[in-house]
Amino acid sequence: MNAFTKTWLSIGTLSDIPLRGARCVKHGDLTIAIFRTTDNQIYALEDRCPHRNGPLSQGIVHDGCVTCPLHNWVISLETGKAAGADEGATRTFPVKLDGTIILLGIGLAADAESGR
Protein backbone atom coordinates (compact mmCIF):
# COMPACT_ATOMS: atom_id res chain seq x y z
CA MET A 1 0.00 0.00 0.00
CA ASN A 2 1.33 3.43 -0.95
CA ALA A 3 1.73 5.80 2.00
CA PHE A 4 1.56 8.80 -0.32
CA THR A 5 -1.46 10.31 -2.02
CA LYS A 6 -0.66 12.22 -5.17
CA THR A 7 -2.80 15.06 -6.39
CA TRP A 8 -2.39 16.48 -9.88
CA LEU A 9 -2.93 20.24 -9.79
CA SER A 10 -3.66 22.20 -12.95
CA ILE A 11 -1.27 25.15 -12.78
CA GLY A 12 -1.62 26.78 -16.19
CA THR A 13 -0.85 26.21 -19.83
CA LEU A 14 2.35 25.59 -21.74
CA SER A 15 2.16 29.10 -23.22
CA ASP A 16 2.22 30.58 -19.68
CA ILE A 17 5.88 29.53 -19.35
CA PRO A 18 8.34 31.29 -21.66
CA LEU A 19 10.77 29.18 -23.68
CA ARG A 20 14.00 28.79 -21.66
CA GLY A 21 12.22 30.42 -18.74
CA ALA A 22 10.24 29.77 -15.59
CA ARG A 23 7.20 30.79 -13.61
CA CYS A 24 6.53 30.13 -9.92
CA VAL A 25 3.54 28.62 -8.19
CA LYS A 26 2.90 28.56 -4.46
CA HIS A 27 1.68 25.47 -2.62
CA GLY A 28 1.37 26.20 1.08
CA ASP A 29 4.75 27.53 2.23
CA LEU A 30 6.50 26.03 -0.78
CA THR A 31 7.48 27.96 -3.91
CA ILE A 32 7.83 25.71 -6.95
CA ALA A 33 9.51 26.88 -10.15
CA ILE A 34 8.07 25.48 -13.38
CA PHE A 35 10.67 25.48 -16.18
CA ARG A 36 10.24 25.13 -19.95
CA THR A 37 13.07 24.14 -22.26
CA THR A 38 13.44 25.01 -25.95
CA ASP A 39 11.98 21.60 -26.88
CA ASN A 40 8.90 22.23 -24.68
CA GLN A 41 9.93 19.89 -21.87
CA ILE A 42 8.46 20.96 -18.53
CA TYR A 43 10.19 20.48 -15.16
CA ALA A 44 9.32 21.46 -11.61
CA LEU A 45 11.85 22.23 -8.87
CA GLU A 46 11.64 23.88 -5.51
CA ASP A 47 12.65 27.48 -6.22
CA ARG A 48 15.72 27.26 -4.01
CA CYS A 49 19.32 26.66 -5.01
CA PRO A 50 21.00 24.14 -2.69
CA HIS A 51 24.02 26.42 -2.37
CA ARG A 52 22.65 29.65 -0.86
CA ASN A 53 18.89 29.37 -1.44
CA GLY A 54 19.01 31.55 -4.56
CA PRO A 55 15.86 31.83 -6.71
CA LEU A 56 16.35 29.26 -9.47
CA SER A 57 13.32 30.67 -11.30
CA GLN A 58 15.41 33.76 -12.08
CA GLY A 59 18.27 31.69 -13.53
CA ILE A 60 19.22 30.88 -17.11
CA VAL A 61 17.69 27.70 -18.58
CA HIS A 62 20.05 25.80 -20.89
CA ASP A 63 20.86 22.22 -21.93
CA GLY A 64 18.43 20.61 -19.46
CA CYS A 65 19.77 22.70 -16.59
CA VAL A 66 19.26 26.02 -14.85
CA THR A 67 22.11 28.25 -13.70
CA CYS A 68 21.47 29.96 -10.37
CA PRO A 69 21.63 33.76 -10.72
CA LEU A 70 23.51 34.24 -7.45
CA HIS A 71 26.68 32.12 -7.73
CA ASN A 72 26.33 30.30 -11.07
CA TRP A 73 25.64 26.84 -9.69
CA VAL A 74 24.27 24.62 -12.47
CA ILE A 75 21.28 22.48 -11.43
CA SER A 76 19.82 19.60 -13.46
CA LEU A 77 16.16 20.21 -14.25
CA GLU A 78 15.52 16.46 -14.31
CA THR A 79 17.21 15.44 -11.04
CA GLY A 80 17.57 18.70 -9.10
CA LYS A 81 21.23 17.84 -8.49
CA ALA A 82 24.13 20.26 -8.79
CA ALA A 83 26.45 19.60 -11.73
CA GLY A 84 30.21 19.36 -11.82
CA ALA A 85 32.20 19.59 -8.59
CA ASP A 86 29.32 21.26 -6.72
CA GLU A 87 27.33 19.08 -4.32
CA GLY A 88 23.72 19.38 -3.28
CA ALA A 89 20.23 19.07 -4.71
CA THR A 90 16.89 20.79 -4.68
CA ARG A 91 13.57 19.00 -4.48
CA THR A 92 11.92 17.96 -7.75
CA PHE A 93 8.22 17.41 -8.44
CA PRO A 94 6.44 15.30 -11.05
CA VAL A 95 4.92 17.31 -13.86
CA LYS A 96 3.08 16.32 -17.02
CA LEU A 97 1.12 17.83 -19.87
CA ASP A 98 -2.51 17.07 -20.65
CA GLY A 99 -2.64 18.63 -24.10
CA THR A 100 -1.31 22.10 -23.30
CA ILE A 101 -2.43 22.07 -19.63
CA ILE A 102 0.43 21.72 -17.11
CA LEU A 103 -0.28 19.34 -14.23
CA LEU A 104 1.91 19.39 -11.12
CA GLY A 105 2.10 16.29 -8.92
CA ILE A 106 1.91 17.10 -5.22
CA GLY A 107 2.30 14.47 -2.52
CA LEU A 108 4.82 12.12 -4.10
CA ALA A 109 8.49 12.82 -4.71
CA ALA A 110 9.57 12.82 -8.35
CA ASP A 111 12.27 10.22 -7.68
CA ALA A 112 9.55 7.75 -6.60
CA GLU A 113 7.32 8.39 -9.62
CA SER A 114 8.29 10.75 -12.41
CA GLY A 115 4.86 11.42 -13.86
CA ARG A 116 6.43 11.66 -17.30
Kindly report, residue by residue over 39-56, the tens digit of the pLDDT: 999 999 999 999 999 999
In a domain, 115, yes or no: no
Predicted confidence (pLDDT) per residue in 17-30, tens digit? 999 999 999 999 99
The pTM of the full predicted model, rounded to 2 decimals, is 0.87
Q: Is residue 97 part of a domain?
A: yes
Q: Is the pLDDT of residue 67 over 80?
A: yes
Is residue 116 domain-resident? no
CB 67 within 8 A of CB 51: no
Give domain status of residue 80, yes or no: yes
For the chain, the domain total comes to 1
Structural domain span for residue 21: 13-106
Average pLDDT over residues 28-37: 97
Residue 83 CA to residue 9 CA, distance in Å, equals 29
Output the DSSP codes for the chain.
Answer: --S---EEEEEEEGGGS-TTEEEEEEETTEEEEEEE-TT--EEEEES--TTT---GGGSEEETTEEE-TTT--EEETTT-BBPTT---B--EE-EEEETTEEEEEESS-TTT----
Residue 113 is assigned to a structural domain of this protein: no
User: Which CATH number goes with the domain that contains 39?
Assistant: 2.102.10.10
> Does 91 score more than 90 pLDDT?
yes
Residue 4 lies in a domain: no
